[in-house]
């Protein structure tokens, strides 16, 4: 019963506020485990991110940042509250809906997670092949343009093992952005990089996002990159405690 009620309220609330926003979160709670072991990790999260905004999320280890990101990305299903991505309610969504949402979101992981048996080109192309509406020629062009845009025009056919950490992360950015997703989620994308290449990577990310009017939510511990943000969020013990622009 509760859940049904929640969903009804959510629908009403969602309609009023989500039109221009890329992400709308209302009263989101999340738990891990069941029964006695049930443990709440997210408490009453409320957040609206406008389209085109670059938002950085920081907070101590274990505060729930990754959990929030996996919920947003459809990697976990949300159960309590409302969570809307591009107008699609993710709370209680079916597996197919989650999968569809995943296709329209770009991901950048802490580890580059490139497919080791594919070249940079093939890795990037993989995210275009999820969409049926591209032609073969379009794919080739978009992939090469994207890799050139992240500064890897000379290394199109390199395998991940032949690239440095920063270069790999740039391929990952190209992969996340090539299909022009409206939202990119990034979890500590610079954590494995040295200061210089970390800085390069976020600057490329920022530039490309602005060019494409792409919304970014980026989790980081790295204080040196906070300046790229339009807005900073701070999370502690599963709560959003501070929204620095408000």
Ligand X SMILES: Nc1ncnc2c1ncn2[C@@H]1O[C@H](COP(=O)(O)OP(=O)(O)OP(=O)(O)O)[C@@H](O)[C@H]1O
Nearer to other proteins, 103 or 241 (CB): 103
Give the containing element (helix H, strand E) for 25. Answer: strand 21-32
| Residue matched to tokens 């440095």 | 164
Rg of the chain over CA atoms, in angstroms?
18
The SS3 assignment for 6 reads helix
Among 66, 97, 104, 122, binds Mg ion (CB under 5 A): 66
Nearer to other proteins, 129 or 203 (CB): 129
Nearer to other proteins, 49 or 107 (CB): 107
Maximum distance among all Cα pairs of the chain, rounded to whole angstroms: 58
Three-point CA angle 235, 90, 43, nearest 5°: 30
Closest separation between CB of residue 135 and other proteins, Å? 7
Site of interaction with other proteins (CB under 8 A): 66, 69-70, 73, 75-76, 99-100, 102-104, 107, 109, 111, 113-118, 122, 125-130, 132-136, 138-139, 159, 175, 187
Nearer to ligand X, 26 or 63 (CB): 63
Nearer to Mg ion, 61 or 135 (CB): 61
Nearer to other proteins, 50 or 180 (CB): 180
The span from the CA of 194 to the CA of 181, in Å, is 27
Site of interaction with ligand X (CB under 6 A): 32-33, 41, 59, 61-67
Closest separation between CB of residue 153 and other proteins, Å? 20
Closest separation between CB of residue 144 and ligand X, Å? 34
Does the protein bind Mg ion through residue 110 (CB under 5 A)?
no
The span from the CA of 206 to the CA of 229, in Å, is 9
Q: Evaluate whether 175 touches 140 at the Cβ level (below 8 Å).
A: no
Site string for Mg ion, 23-62 (x = CB under 5 A): ----------------------------------------
Closest separation between CB of residue 67 and other proteins, Å? 9
Closest separation between CB of residue 233 and other proteins, Å? 17
The count of other CB atoms within 10 Å of the CB of residue 164 is 11
Closest residue to Mg ion, judged by C-beta, is: 66
Q: Evaluate whether 83 touches 90 at the Cβ level (below 8 Å).
A: yes
Buried-state track 50-76, b at ≥16 Cβ within 10 A, e below 16: eebbbbbbbbeeebbbbbbbbbbbbbb
Q: How many residues bind Mg ion (CB under 5 A)?
A: 1
The span from the CA of 140 to the CA of 121, in Å, is 8
Q: Which residues are at the interface with Mg ion (CB under 5 A)? A: 66
């Amino acid at each position: 019963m509760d859940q049904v009620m929640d969903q009804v309220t959510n629908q009403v609330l969602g309609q009023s506020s989500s039109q221009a926003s890329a992400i709308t979160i209302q009263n989101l709670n999340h738990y891990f485990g069941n029964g006695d072991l049930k443990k709440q990790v997210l408490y009453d999260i409320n957040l609206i991110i406008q389209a085109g905004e670059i938002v950085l999320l920081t907070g101590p280890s274990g505060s729930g940042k990754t959990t929030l990101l996996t919920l947003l990305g459809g990697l976990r299903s949300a159960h309590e509250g409302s969570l809307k991505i591009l107008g699609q309610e993710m709370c209680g969504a079916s597996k197919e809906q989650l999968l569809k949402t995943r296709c329209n979101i770009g991901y950048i992981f802490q580890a580059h997670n490139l497919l080791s048996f594919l070249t940079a080109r093939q890795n990037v192309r993989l995210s275009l092949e999820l969409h049926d509406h591209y032609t073969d020629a379009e794919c080739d062009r978009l992939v090469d343009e994207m890799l050139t845009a992240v500064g890897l025009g000379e290394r199109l056919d390199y395998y991940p093992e032949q690239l440095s950490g920063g270069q790999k992360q740039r391929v990952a950015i190209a992969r996340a952005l090539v299909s022009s997703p409206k939202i990119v989620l990034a979890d500590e994308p610079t954590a494995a990089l040295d200061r210089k290449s970390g800085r390069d990577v976020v600057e490329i990310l920022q530039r490309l996002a602005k060019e494409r009017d792409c919304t970014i939510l980026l989790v980081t511990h790295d204080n040196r990159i906070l300046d790229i943000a339009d807005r900073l969020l701070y999370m502690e013990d599963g709560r959003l405690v501070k929204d620095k622009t408000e």
